[in-house]
């Protein structure tokens, strides 16, 4: 995998999400990998809800946590926004 492979995948991920939500999705945080040469994770967090897309071994793992109830959810993202992922991403949309 090239040094910029995950960075391109992070950009591609955000294009898919932004297009789906008409650019009203909150701006995520992005965490670098261990040697700061690439993006390893894209995170949305509003205090109550935490959603992350982690780039691992060529896959994108999705993890969600609702802090007040400890509800957790996981799936792999393949470029298609599942019904459950649509529901979870609604927590981070800036308009109604």
- DSSP reduced 3-state for 26: coil
Give the residue, 2 or 18, on which the prediction is more confident: 18
Q: How confident is the model at residue 1 (pLDDT cuts 50, 70, 90)?
A: very low
pLDDT mean over 20-46:
85
Tell me the per-residue pLDDT of 42-56, one tens digit each, with 9 for 90 and over.
Answer: 999 999 999 999 988
Q: First and final CA of the chain: distance in angstroms?
A: 39
pLDDT reading at 24 higher than 80: yes
- Given this model, what pLDDT does residue 30 score? 86
pLDDT reading at 41 higher than 50: yes
Give the mean pLDDT of the chain: 88
**66 close to 81: Cβ distance less than 8 angstroms:** no
pLDDT reading at 31 higher than 90: no
Give the residue, 69 or 8, on which the prediction is more confident: 69
Counting every residue, how long is the chain?
96
The count of structural domains within the chain is: 1
Residue 45, exposed/middle/buried by CB under 10 A (0-12, 13-18, 19+)?
A: middle
Domain encompassing residue 75: 5-92
**13 close to 20: Cβ distance less than 8 angstroms:** no
Nearest one of 62, 40, 38 to 51, comparing CA atoms: 62
């Amino acid at each position: 995998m090239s040094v910029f492979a995950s960075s391109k995948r992070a950009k591609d991920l955000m294009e898919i999400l932004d297009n789906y939500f008409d650019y009203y999705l909150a701006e995520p945080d992005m965490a670098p990998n261990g040697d700061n040469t690439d993006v390893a994770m894209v995170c949305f967090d509003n205090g109550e809800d935490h959603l992350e897309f982690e780039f691992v071994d060529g896959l994108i793992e999705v993890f969600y946590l609702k802090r007040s109830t400890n509800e957790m959810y996981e799936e792999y993202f393949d470029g298609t926004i599942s019904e459950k992922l649509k529901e979870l991403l609604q927590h981070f949309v800036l308009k109604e």
